[in-house]
Chains A and B, each alone.
Chain A
Amino acid sequence: MAGVSVTFTVNGREVTATVDPRTLLVHFLREHLKLTGTHIGCDTSQCGACTVHLDGRPAKSCALLAVQLEGAEVTTIEGVAGPDGMHPMQAAFKEHHGLQCGFCTPGMVMMGIDIANRHEAPDEATIRRELEGNLCRCTGYHNIVASIAAGASSMRG
């Protein structure tokens, strides 16, 4: 099938590529840009491991075609740290050990940042409800919820 040229921004950097229309965003990120922090779990938008931010809001990159993103801004887990090191949400996951195997963690952090952006001081019930679309098979979520609460608190300063 004919390749299609697409230009969009990934972690603040403009990217132009000619892609096969069937290329999923998650494959584009991992295989073309070598940004392998975004993980592939289910390929059917259920698990949330591939969560990125699309124009500032969380989206599942396995359910997006790269070709659809002309002009869009995408942020991946590689793009959240600042010049001084980890993003406060990443630091909170480290501090509160919000992971075991780590596979779901990039998606959890991206979702956690969005939860903190939309809720001033998210309580446990809010965080658990907002995490409906992110599955973790290790932790039982306890430390993930604690990490997001702490990360949200640090993000407010």
Chain B
Amino acid sequence: MKPPPFDYCCPDTLDEVLTLLAEHGEAAKVIAGGQSLVPMLNLRALHPGVLIDINRLPGLDHISLEDGQLRVGALARHKAVLESAAVSEASPLMALAYPYVSHGPIRNRGTLCGNLCHNDPASEMPAVALASGAEMVLQSAGGTRTVAAEDFFTGMLSTAAEANEILVEVRVPRAPAGQGAGFHEVSPRKGDFAYVAVGATLQVADGACTGARIVCAGVGDGPHRAYAAEDALTGAAPGDDAFRQAAAAAADSIDPSEDFHADADYRRDLVRSLTRRALADAASRCN
């Protein structure tokens, strides 16, 4: 047996899930697609007392665009999100980043919400959520609250979700009209953990950058927003000079982790190069 022992529940209703979470607290772990969770169990990196399987819950696999928000439910699989017209319409950045999320067989099973809750520091979607101003809808037996992405991702493999809460939906505001997006990643193999990924969005009016978002993955404990690089762009004429300066600011803003694949200098270089490329792509897609 690879995973450690645990009890297993597979409730039919969300109320039952919330009751179980209230009862078991830190000992409980929710499983949806399980595409990060089961490998972590196999590595015995986690020892949950009870696994709460939410795959039988009705009505949580929605992907919709309403009131200017893309809404993705806890059981929407990556594949369905990736292929949905709502995503390409509401969040070009997410659509650009999605092909980098793992492999086809994993995307068939894994979920966007599970991916966000896992918050792997090399993961693309937490960075996209941060860049997009996404909100997480967390539910517990005590009620529902909404947490902004910037408050949700709290550190290495951790989030603001309490032990008695489940992420039932992520809401991503529709990208403003005219915004361009770019996303680039370097990883050892396609679909593998990113050494570095950079996403950028850009708005341009009257020949000047009016709004920029630059986010990095793979550089620390979680998704990183390069505020100084964004500030460097505000008011600047979009072009290679401005993008080089912003890329330098982005590289300066990180304190990257190191491993035997990529040391800190290499990761800084990647942030610099990928930021420049992502901004150039974003600028070419502004209208």
Contact = CB atoms under 8 A, between A and B. Distances in A.
A133 B102 contact: yes
B41 interface: yes
A117 to B, nearest CB: 12
A24 B38 contact: yes
Nearest to B8: A21
B106 A60 contact: yes
A65 B38 contact: yes
Nearest to B35: A63
A59 B35 CA distance: 10
Which of A2, A57, A65 counts the most chain B CB atoms within 10 A?
Answer: A65
A24 B10 contact: no
Interface of A is mostly: mixed
Contacts of A111: 105
Nearest to A111: B105
A133 B38 contact: no
Interface residues of A, number: 33
Interface residues of B, number: 31
A122 B285 CA distance: 30
Nearest to A107: B105
B104 A130 contact: yes
A59 B1 contact: no
Interface stretch (B159-167, B188-196, B254-262): B188-196
B108 interface: yes
Interface stretch (A44-52, A77-85, A91-99, A146-154): A44-52
Contacts of B104: 58, 114, 130, 132-133
A27 interface: yes
Given A68-B34, A132-B190, A43 B53 contact: no
Contact of A68 (B43, B53, B106): B53
B185 to A, nearest CB: 13
A43 B42 contact: yes
Contacts of B4: 22
Given A44-B42, A45-B106, 19 more contacts: A21-B6, A21-B51, A22-B4, A51-B105, A54-B109, A57-B105, A59-B109, A62-B38, A62-B39, A62-B42, A63-B109, A65-B34, A67-B53, A68-B31, A70-B10, A114-B104, A132-B189, A133-B102, A133-B103
Interface of B: 1-8, 10, 31, 34-35, 38-39, 41-43, 51, 53, 55, 102-106, 108-109, 189-192
**CB-based closest 9 A-B pairs:** A133-B103, A21-B8, A44-B39, A22-B3, A58-B105, A63-B38, A1-B5, A132-B191, A132-B103
Interface of A: 1-2, 4, 20-24, 27, 43-46, 48, 51, 54, 57-60, 62-65, 67-68, 70, 111, 114, 129-130, 132-133
